A = this chain, B = another copy of it.
Amino acid sequence: MSHLEPRPIVIAKTREASPCLQCDVRDRSVCNAIDIPDLQRLAIVAMHRTIEKGRVFIEEGMPATDFFNITAGTAKLFKTLPNGRQQITGFAGIGHFLGLAGSQTYAFSAQAIELVEICRFSRPKLYHLLHDFPAMEARLLETACNELVAAQDQMLLLGRKTALERVASFLIGRQRNILGCHGPFDTIDLPMTRAEIADYLGLTIETISRTISKLKADGRITTPTRDSIAILDVEWLSQVAAGNDSIAGLA
């Protein structure tokens, strides 16, 4: 089946050469499965977009028309219950691939929690491309597996961990994303509000706040600014995050 529309060529011209070639997010995303000579074909189906903070750009239950690749900022992925209860299933940062739905509709919503930039791919076009680049399909499978593992960890957290353990897990998990930043202690940036942390960990704002206060009082962390946290005792937090309640009482 061949498309007879001349559009792709026009777009390619408009963008002056392959924008994917200069993309500095490529090697952090699934796009690195495509070799440089073939990037042109990827660029044709990709569309860059900016999404302002607060905008919901994927809505649960709507027809899944596109895939997305985040190139800047952070989005929250979530599901909602009729009476307003919300569960955030994950935060998607730079390089995160979105829209692997399985069915014809999106299974979750996505909202930009800060200014976000994305590459948008139309679903049928990307599928067509995948057919020619099995390496990218393999990368997607790899990505999906990693998300599955993360989801299982989160189920363990939501089903069996205490509030303290959940917050500790969250901080340690965030720290892993940044690995060795500035200073002797790792400072974690939190683009999300307390409410969003709560919806991610299956708790309430107040419990998040209280737990963070307790960690601060116990000298495990400090809060340099409102939206950053510095871990003082990584080892202790890791133990608590792993569910070792025996260590929790120690000084």
Given the contacts A86-B160, A140-B141, A144-B144, A152 and B79 also touching, CB distance less than 8 Å = yes
Given the contacts A107-B152, A152-B79, A159 and B158 also touching, CB distance less than 8 Å = yes
A155 on the interface (CB 8 Å rule)? Answer: yes
Q: Are A102 and B137 in contact (CB under 8 A)?
A: no
Tell me how far the C-beta of A58 lies from the nearest C-beta in chain B, rounded to whole angstroms.
13
A156 on the interface (CB 8 Å rule)? Answer: yes
Given the contacts A79-B152, A102-B145, A141-B137, A158 and B161 also touching, CB distance less than 8 Å = no
Q: Which of B85, B138, B154, B199 contacts A243 (CB 8 A)?
A: B85
A227 on the interface (CB 8 Å rule)? Answer: no
A window 78-125: CB within 8 A of B: 79, 81-83, 85-87, 89, 100-103, 107-108
A148 on the interface (CB 8 Å rule)? Answer: yes
- Number of A interface residues at 8 Å Cβ cutoff, please give it: 45
Tell me how far the C-beta of A87 lies from the nearest C-beta in chain B, rounded to whole angstroms.
4
Residues of B within 8 A of A155 (CB): 79, 87, 89, 151, 154-155, 158
A35 on the interface (CB 8 Å rule)? Answer: no
A202 on the interface (CB 8 Å rule)? Answer: yes
Q: What is the copy number of this chain in the assembly?
A: 2
Q: Are A100 and B145 in contact (CB under 8 A)?
A: yes
CA distance in complex: A159, B244 (Å) = 21
CA distance in complex: A148, B79 (Å) = 13
Residues of B within 8 A of A148 (CB): 100, 102, 107, 144, 147-148, 151
CA distance in complex: A100, B151 (Å) = 13
Give per-residue flags for A232-250: 1 if the beta carbon is below 8 A from chain B beta carbons, else 0. 0000000000111110000
CA distance in complex: A89, B243 (Å) = 17
A149 on the interface (CB 8 Å rule)? Answer: yes
Residues of B within 8 A of A245 (CB): 82-83
CA distance in complex: A172, B96 (Å) = 33
Residues of B within 8 A of A153 (CB): 79, 107
Tell me how far the C-beta of A135 lies from the nearest C-beta in chain B, rounded to whole angstroms.
10
Q: Are B103 and A149 in contact (CB under 8 A)?
A: yes
Given the contacts A137-B138, A152-B79, A152-B89, A158 and B202 also touching, CB distance less than 8 Å = yes
Interface residues of A (CB under 8 A from B): 79, 81-83, 85-87, 89, 100-103, 107-108, 130, 134, 137-138, 140-142, 144-149, 151-156, 158-161, 199, 201-202, 242-246
